[in-house]
Structure 1
Amino acid sequence: MSSTQNDKRLFLLDAYALIFRGYYAFIKNPRINSKGLNTSAIMGFMNALLDVVKREQPSHLAVVFDVGKKETIRHEYFPEYKANRDETPEGIKVAVPYIIEILEAMHIPVMYADGYEADDVIGTIAKQAEKEGFTTYMMTPDKDFAQLVSENIKMYKPSSRGNGVEIWGVDEVKEKFGVDDPIKIIDYLGMMGDSADNIPGIPGVGPKTAQKLLAAYGSMEGLYENLDKLKGKQKENVTNFKEQAFLSKKLATILTDAPVEFCEQKYNVDRPDFDKVKEIFTELEFRRMLENLYRTYGVEDKIDENKPDIYTGDQMSMFATNDNEEIVVSESGFRTIETEDHFYQLVDSPMGRSLLLKKLLKQKEVCIDCETTGLNALEAELVGLAFSYEAGKGFYVSFPEDFDEAKAIVEEFREVLESPEILKIGQNLKYDMKVLYKYGIEITAPIYDTMVAHYIINSDMRHGMDVLSETYLKYKPVDIETLIGKKGKNQKNFRQIDIDVQTKYAVEDTDITLQLKHIFNPMLKEVEANKLVEEIEFPLVGVLANMERNGIKIDVDALNQMSAKLADELGALEENIFKAAGSEFNVNSPKQLGEVLFDTLKIVKKPKKTRTGQYKTSEDILVELKDKHEIVNHVLEYRQIQKLKSTYIDALPNEVSPKTGRIHTTFAQTIASTGRLASNNPNLQNIPIRTERGREVRKAFVAKDDNHVLLAADYSQIELRLIAGMSGDEAMTTSFLNGEDIHAATAARVFNIPLEEVTRTQRNHAKTVNFGIIYGVSAFGLSNQTDLSRSESKDLIDIYFETYPRLKEYMDEQIAFARQHGYVETLLGRRRYLPSINSANFVVRTQAERNAINAPVQGSAADVIKLAMVKLHETLKDYKTKMLLQVHDELVFEVPKDEVDSIQPIIKSTMEEALTFKIPLVVECGIGNNWLDAH
């Protein structure tokens, strides 16, 4: 490539390919802003756009859309072209106008041609630019563009699923498609067809066959000139489908004569209109994206120092006195501590603290926030404590390094922090509770946690204070990293920061949090969630803080012994793998494993590949192939053992606190949209219990000493009991009320046999359907989980719904309710919003429909165990028994042996009676020296 060509680099972005890719990248966790707008597609596209601008620094740039008439010239000769495609998801339809508006504000040309596809426009511009000395990069994941590749036209495939960016030149296209010239990709696609575009191709011709035919005959035309050299079914298909073959080639050909013209000056990468982009990003609530934009274009966060931005938002103002008042904001688009009047006062004398205490005791609510030396609440030292009770004002109490001196100062505020008359407000109060507990203070009810409140209001958004402040207050708080530096050896702790800076930062937090509380209060009322937060979620904050402080003991020696044993098993398995493969290789390398399985052993004819051409060897792929060769089962077992060893057996000892000798997991209350708790550092909820080795890990969780035991209390089939009661299905309800084995009873009804004649296999099939039905199990899913064929699975599901007809009606009612209201809710009123429930896109809609069915059930189960935890927490105050863990539907306690007989029935009855329900909830308790024995 000449230096001139290097300087003239044109990037053409395939808009819809990148928009769809961005949308589906977030499909499991959509980006929803505070107004309920799905911004996934916009965010995904903008990430790709800014990445290429930053990474490649193109001299020229354009984005090309499929727009104008729905019908293209290809429909004239093949009306069924792309007829198999689903309706465009609403999330993308809504996104496109925003994306076009952003591109216009960024001065990036938007290109299209009526009646032509984006492919044709890109092909036309690329060829024209090539003649003018440009190197053109077609940014798209679509393989069809490979036909356009030449010395100066390349494909630029954006990074995906952990794989980096790929640039395909002539050599790469030849290698990946097995052709001797990129132009032959047209023949390649024409022969094999393309199901995505509904291009039929020649029956029986796939990628490998197309490559062989092209190698032998050079082109589609060459193939038909040599029909006499073909044999059997292949000759028959090629002969009979000649017209279809040439039609497919025509459909697959990207046109290079679309009615567009390349104008070099028009495509220059220009400086965006930052004010306009900022306005759009503010509406979309793209906080980080704005900063990314500035960094990408290499400008400071100040666009026009002489012209401050104006915001006239409809949310509560930070310190507004008049709703119609224009409020000056910083050049970043948000108001900041520099733009606002505030009164943040340092209190560092005994007299000052005394006066502050008197003021605080007169308040009905006080916002608090601890500043510490680190993020680990159980180890961090208290540096300062901030208080706010009025917007724009607050106080900061600093603490000396000496623990006893600091404890004495904290003690002065006990009356406020433990007052049953004062509402304590905070953002992530659990952290503050754990910190203050070390200093002898136990924050008591009533409390109000803004992070938890917002989670109930909109579980799909993030709930960090910075996000909430920027979204609801249009105020950008001071970034802690600007004060202490980024994480690493040079990062300061908060005590090393200037005291005046400490004061501003700490009080700003309480000030913001206090105002967020007043915004969220009416919002909680609007979604009818006051009872949920007041009776479950807010009280649970203190329960979880207590459990995290308690921690649990593990037997490190037992884990080390397990690790050594598993290392030997891995070594033996590796030998078996090498023996089956006929050679040694790196079992942990997906690339090498794929080559062994599919090139050397050839265990299947048409192995699946990733987009980069590498063989797929993920677990789901290998499970499908486990009967094809003995090596597959060895590899699956090897991976299972290795994951268990690295994730738990070798990792858990590193999580033991040097201060307590116990593991202290953190329970996340605001992660799962269903309401379930999550466990982090370490994650104790994913310890496998279905395998013998996995269960052995639980054996290492032990009671503190010989005078204690672990008690595990587990709700039995709670989700089935809940869906039976919520649906009112008579047959299922009768089984539970009669104390029958629900899976055996289901099998007896489904297979129409007496209960006593149900086999183990029949019961297992019924169990799979019973639990799977809550999650919308399909015939395909059921056949993968059992030894049933897909048709047998479909028959079983059909009979199941005939057996439990009211259950099917209930599921349909849930979907209908979601369609009408946009959400579903649990027995206790927890809502799960489903903005995609009316999507015309089948995949998106059916996912929302499954959530409409399982969210009320999963969420109700989560509500029940949370309610039980809150009640047990109060009960256990009169005992030495401690609640340690919550894992799925199970609670784990550490019980003195002399309390076992008295506390076990209390735990059981409290959990079973946590919620009055038409079907009895049943709890099974077990006791042992370790978690496995107790479970």
Structure 2
Amino acid sequence: MSRIIGTFEESGEKMADKFLVIDGSSLIHRAFFALPPLTTKQGVNTGAVYGFCNMLAKLLGDVKPKWLAVAFDKSRKTFRTELFADYKGQRKPTPSELSEQFPLARRLLEAMNITVLETDGYEADDIIGTFAVHAPKEAEIIIVTGDKDELQLLDERVKVYFTKRGISDIKTYDVAAFAEDYEGLKPKQLIDLKGLMGDSSDNIPGVPGVGPKTALKLIGEYGSVENVLENIDQISGKSLKEKLADNKEAALLSKKLATIFTEVPVELELDKYELKAMSDAARPLMQELEFRNLHERFQTILGGSDGTFDLFGESVSVEAVSVATEVLETAEQGEAFFASLRQNQAVIPFMATCGGELPQLHFTAVEIFFDEKIHELREGSGAWNLFYEWLADAGQLKATCDSKEIYKTCLCLGKKAAGIVEDISIAAYLIEPGRSSYNLKAVTERYLVANSGGNVADLQTLLPIIEQKLQEYELVKLYQEMELPLSEVLAKMELAGIKPDVKLLQSITTEMAVQIKALEILAEEQAGESFNLKSPKQLGVLLFEKLGLPVIKKTKTGYSTDVSVLEQLEGEHPLIKTILEHRKLTKLHSTYLEGLRPLINPVTGRIHTHFQQTVTATGRLSSTDPNLQNIPVRTEIGKRIREIFIPGEGYDWLMACDYSQVELRVLAHMAQDKLLLESFLHGQDVHARTAAEVFGVPLAEVDSMMRTRAKAVNFGIVYGISDFGLAKQLDISRGEAADYIKSYFARYTGVKQYMDDTVKHARQQGYVATMFGRRRYLPDIRHSNFNLRSFAERTAINTPIQGTAADIIKIAMLNVEQALAEAGGKSRILLQVHDELVLEVVEAERELVSGLVKKAMEAAAVLSVPLTADVAWGKNWAQTK
């Protein structure tokens, strides 16, 4: 009987049970470098073990194996080092933060009754290879590894899950997938490839000068290293012949080193590897390592001696949650159901699907989890009004996964939402701000073993896990007092939108189109020929071949003509400046002029941007459709675009209230630098004061050039700028920029100390935090790659400052919203753009709103220096700048 990977052919026979064989050394290594460092309160490093366990739990849930083994390398000394002393000799010593975690991993696996295998003289690959070849035929072998060497083991019953990057990005290999990646070769021929091209990661020499393409071609033609060496005379290319002839022994040795040994003396009886319930030792060990939520996950898969897990110091049943669905069609069904809800004191999870156009949004379906059932309300059911009554009851505590949309839909309907005390998306974002998605499906896949599609039952299961994480990371206050209430404020702002002057929009659109066409004509004159400015290929040929400009960077498809390259060439030819101006205008034209028209809501006549609360790693809000935060501030064209936005019907003014140098004030507070504190406490021009200090002149003698350069240094320091970056920004030599930075640190010693301490702290615990406890994890802070590590260090310096400023503006938004509500007027917040709030105000409330907004913003945080906010008014947004 022939075999298909993963199944038998249709013959009525039972599909084979799965034997999961995991390369523990490889996966723990991947987890260490992929995830932020994690330590217990006692300082024990546990991040790699935690990442490995999370992946193991997901694998067990997805694969559902009958048997499991985890193989480890026992030492670097193996039979391969006896054959070739330099085998893996180039590798750096394992970081102590990682090496100390391998014993922890073994202890934990043993406590979970998972078989651990390691053998003197052999690598984990060899143990895994022995199972792949000799395990009883009733087992389908699935190998999980981050090492491509194990692809040579693929056959009809062996599959490899290869972790491409980190520990979650997995590619599944079978024989067909291998052939696709390796140009038709068979898995066994991987060792022949390595024989010729070597393997730098293992320090396998191969044949010097023979790379992957040549090796693939030779093995594809001759089948093996031995046949290649026997047919050297038939191979074209004198140089290649010489390389092969001179390195025969190296090629044969390399093939031997790359060959996985499949006769390791290990127990092959399947009973030894069958999954069992965890031992009594698992729970206290996980508690010691502070992995409490993992116990729940593995308990569900593996079971245990008492059928319970300990989450908050109490035993909680791990019985599976029933997800039967009961549709509430009639008012009578609804009355009974919502009456039972009102008697319940727990937080009730619910999800709602929203549809329709602003301001006519409506709920199309609602799911509520209660009494081990998902109760579904469909639009138009008799229970619908009872749902609105329950939703408006602040005494009924609720959990959901997108509170902003709930609030916005209720506002459209003239209804009220209250008592929402949990939003799983916001909570997951605070816990891990670097992830790409926080919808319920993504959060479910992150924290639960199995994913049922991201429904309200998953939300119920997630709540205790997420709550425990918020407590563990000290994020509860930030979550409950800032982010959760902010979602309601953002819903009101999105619903309000902002009014565009449609006639002016059309006028400026036409005006800019004329400017763009003029630049295209000018570019052709400067180039001496016609060409497509939007074609990187044509542009590259023109600049670097016809005009002979110096090549800065190449890509796979040709010359790079990105902005960074063009900026370096700006003084080389007049055409460069024209191209840069053309790019800037075409982007603004497509995004903020042509791009705005389809975003004008036909019902309201306003533009309703979406404020994203869970996107940036620093905590800043971002806006989309359109992104109003990226309109240039200090350019003439940016001003023209802002003129488009005006007060809507029933309002008289736009008012902007903007923090003054908030990030530098935060830096002064955090660094407690004497000079910086003095500047703000005495109301000095902080950039002029910095210029006086850096250039060594009296404050009164600081000129505009000095101030401009000092300003670049001040803001550059906030972002951890390098001398190279400052030199590029100011168009000065790198040496001069280095002198500025050196002079700055010599005078502002508190800032230098803050930066050094912050980077040191980040290295120790793997993250940095804002004044309000918002965390950002920095997985590359200890990376061996200089560029990656340097970027992480700059991020460590900047994030507490920028993140604190982001937190302050969020608190200000809450303060302003509350002050406006208490005043009982009509004026309202429309936009938040970086450090600025934009409001729509009626004439009668102008003085009142000006005072209360300024007061609310300046009271958002208590710093060692005053927070100041400046108010400006206009009949359009441009006039407020």
Q: Given the two structures, how large is their TM-score scaled by the length of structure 2?
A: 0.70
**1:531-562 deviation digits (Å, cap 9, x = unpaired):** 11121111111111111111111123222222
The answer on 1:460 being equivalent to 2:441 is: no
1:539 paired to 2:521: no
1:436 corresponding residue in structure 2: 410
Q: Is structure 2 residue 604 aligned with structure 1 residue 608?
A: no
Q: Residue 424 of structure 1 corresponds to which residue in structure 2?
A: 398
Counterpart amino acid of 1:360? L
* Residues 837 and 848 in structure 1, CA contact (< 8 A), matched pair in contact too: yes
Match runs of 1:494-509 below 5 Å: 508-509=455-456
| Residue aligning to 2:287 | none
* Structure 2 counterpart of 1:694: 638
Whole-Å separation in 1 of the counterparts to 2:754 and 2:766: 17
Does 2:722 correspond to 1:747?
no
Contact persistence 2:408–2:495 (CA under 8 A): yes
Q: Shift of the alpha carbon at 1:469?
A: 2.1
Report the AA paired with residue 460 of structure 1. Answer: G
Q: Secondary structure at the match of 1:588?
A: coil
What is the CA distance between 1:832 and its match in structure 2? 1.9
Q: How far, CA to CA, are the matches of 1:657 and 1:101 in structure 2?
A: 64
Residue number in structure 2 paired with 1:587: 533
Aligned residues: 712
Match of 2:818 in 1: 874
Secondary structure of 2:871's partner? strand
For the 8 Å contact 1:89–1:844, the answer to whether it is kept is: no
1:148 match: 214
Distance in 2 (CA, whole Å) between partners of 1:730 and 1:698 is: 39
What letter is aligned with 1:649? Answer: L
- The answer to whether the 8 A contact 2:299-2:308 is kept is no
**Counterpart amino acid of residue 420 in structure 1:** A
Higher mean Cα deviation, 553-562 or 900-909? 553-562
Secondary structure at the aligned position of 1:679 is classed as strand
Please, what is the CA RMSD of the aligned residues?
A: 5.2
Amino acid at match of 1:608: K
- CA displacement at 1:316 relative to structure 2: 9.0
Kindly indicate whether the alpha-carbon contact (under 8 Å) linking 1:836 and 1:845 is maintained by their aligned counterparts in 2. yes
Pick closer, same or farther for the CA change 1:182–1:436 going to 2, 3 Å: farther
Q: Deviations over 1:864-912 (max 9, x none)?
A: 1111111211222222111111111111111112111111111011000
Residue 571 of structure 2 is matched in structure 1 by 627
Change in 2 beyond 3 A, CA 1:535/1:471: same
What's the counterpart of residue 397 of structure 1?
A: 377
Could you tell me which residue of structure 1 aligns to residue 797 of structure 2? 853
1:466 Cα deviation from its structure 2 partner: 1.5
1:662 maps to 606
1:931 aligned onto 2:867 = no
Query: Residues 382 and 711 from structure 1, CA distance in 2 versus in 1: closer, same or farther, beyond 3 angstroms?
Result: same
Greater mean alpha carbon deviation, residues 820-829 or residues 470-479: 470-479
1:734 to 2:675 alignment? no
| Structure 1 residue corresponding to 2:771, chosen from 827, 835, 848 | 827
Q: CA deviation at 1:107?
A: 6.0
CA distance in 2: counterparts of 1:613 and 1:742, whole angstroms: 47
Q: How does 1:482-493 map to 2 (within 5 A)?
A: none
Aligned to 1:811: 755
Aligned match of 1:918: 864
**Which segments of 5 or more consecutive residues in structure 1 lack a partner in the other structure?**
1-14, 44-66, 113-121, 156-180, 188-218, 220-249, 267-278, 280-310, 328-335, 401-405, 480-507
Q: Structure 2: how far apart are the matches of 1:39 and 1:182?
A: 52
Choose from 329, 336, 351 the match for 2:332: 351
Q: Which of 898, 909, 920 matches 2:855?
A: 909
CA distance in 2, matches of 1:585, 1:795: 44
**How many percent of aligned residue pairs carry the same amino acid?**
32
Q: Give runs of aligned pairs for residues 59-458 of structure 1, distance below 5 A.
A: 106=142, 111=149, 145=211, 148=214, 258-260=254-256, 314-315=296-297, 324-325=306-307, 341-372=322-353, 374=355, 379-390=360-371, 392-400=372-380, 410-445=384-419, 447-458=421-432
Code of the residue aligned with 1:839 in structure 2: it is: H
TM-superposed deviation, 1:691: 2.4
Cα distance 1:693–1:131, how it changes in 2: closer, same or farther (>3 A)?
A: closer
State the match for 2:787 in structure 1: 843
- 462, 467, 492: which one pairs with 1:516? 462
The answer on whether the counterparts of 2:659 and 2:869 sit within 8 Å (CA) in structure 1 is yes
* Residue type of the alignment partner of 1:729: D
Distance of aligned partners of 1:740 and 1:89 in 2 relative to their CA distance in 1, 3 Å threshold: farther
Paired letter, 2:424: T
Distance (whole Å) between structure 2 residues aligned to residue 72 and residue 320 of structure 1: 41
Partners of 1:312 and 1:325 within 8 A in 2: no
Residues 88 and 682 from structure 1, CA distance in 2 versus in 1: closer, same or farther, beyond 3 angstroms? Answer: farther
**Correspondence for 1:705 among 636, 649, 653:** 649
Residue 720 (structure 1) shift: 0.3
Contact 1:377 1:431 in 2 (8 A): no
- Is the Cα–Cα contact under 8 Å of residues 189 and 219 in structure 2 kept in the other structure? no
Judged with a 3 Å threshold, the aligned counterparts in structure 2 of structure 1 residues 845 and 724 are, in CA distance, closer, same or farther, namely same
1:382-402 residue CA offsets vs partner (Å, 9 max, x unmatched): 222222345x234222222xx
Deviates more, 1:745-754 or 1:873-882: 873-882
What amino acid is aligned across from residue 762 of structure 2 in structure 1? A
Deviation at 1:602, TM superposition (A): 0.2
Q: CA deviation at 1:348?
A: 1.4
- Where 1:314 maps in the other structure, the secondary structure is helix
CA separation of 1:555 and 1:367: change in aligned 2, threshold 3 A: farther
User: Structure 1 residue 453: deviation in Å?
Assistant: 1.3
Shift, 1:633, TM fit: 0.9
Alignment partner, residue 897 of structure 1: 843
**Once the 2 structures are TM-superposed, how far is the Cα of residue 529 of structure 1 from its aligned partner?**
1.6
C-alpha contact 1:373 1:382 (8 A) present in aligned 2: yes
TM-score (norm 1): 0.66
Farther off after superposition, 796-805 or 425-434: 425-434
What is the CA–CA distance in structure 2 between the aligned matches of 1:41 and 1:99, rounded to whole Å? 18
Between 1:314-323 and 1:549-558, the stretch displaced more is 314-323
Quick check: 1:383–1:398 contact (8 Å CA) kept in 2?
yes
What CA distance in whole angstroms lies between the structure 2 residues aligned with 1:904 and 1:769?
33
Determine the C-alpha separation between the residues in 1 that align with 2:717 and 2:241.
Answer: 45
Structure 2 CA distance for aligned equivalents of residues 616 and 383 of structure 1? 49
Question: Cα gap change, 1:365/1:903 in structure 2, threshold over 3 Å: closer, same or farther?
Answer: farther
Gaps of 5+ in 2: 1-22, 41-45, 55-75, 103-122, 133-140, 151-181, 202-207, 222-235, 263-274, 276-292, 310-317
Whichever residue aligns with residue 469 of structure 1, its letter is T
Q: Does 1:478 align with 2:453?
A: yes
Q: Deviations over 1:134-184 (max 9, x none)?
A: 9x99999999727726865699xxxxxxxxxxxxxxxxxxxxxxxxx8776
For the residue of structure 2 that corresponds to 1:839, the secondary structure is: coil
Q: List, as ranges, runs of 4+ consecutive aligned residues in structure 1 with deviation greater than 6 Å.
A: 29-32, 38-43, 67-76, 85-95, 97-104, 128-134, 136-144, 181-187, 261-266, 316-323
CA contact (8 A) 1:410 1:439 kept: no
- Equivalent residue, structure 1, for 2:739: 795
**Does the 8 A contact of 1:433 with 1:442 survive in 2?**
yes
Q: 1:424-481 deviations in whole A, cap 9, x for unaligned?
A: 21111111222222232221245211111121222223422112223333231237xx
Please tell me whether the aligned partners of residues 192 and 219 of structure 2 are also in contact (alpha carbons under 8 angstroms). Answer: no
Q: Equivalent residue for 2:175?
A: none
8 Å contact 1:823–1:831 — kept in the other structure? yes
**CA deviations over 1:191-248 (Å, ceiling 9, x no partner):** xxxxxxxxxxxxxxxxxxxxxxxxxxxx9xxxxxxxxxxxxxxxxxxxxxxxxxxxxx
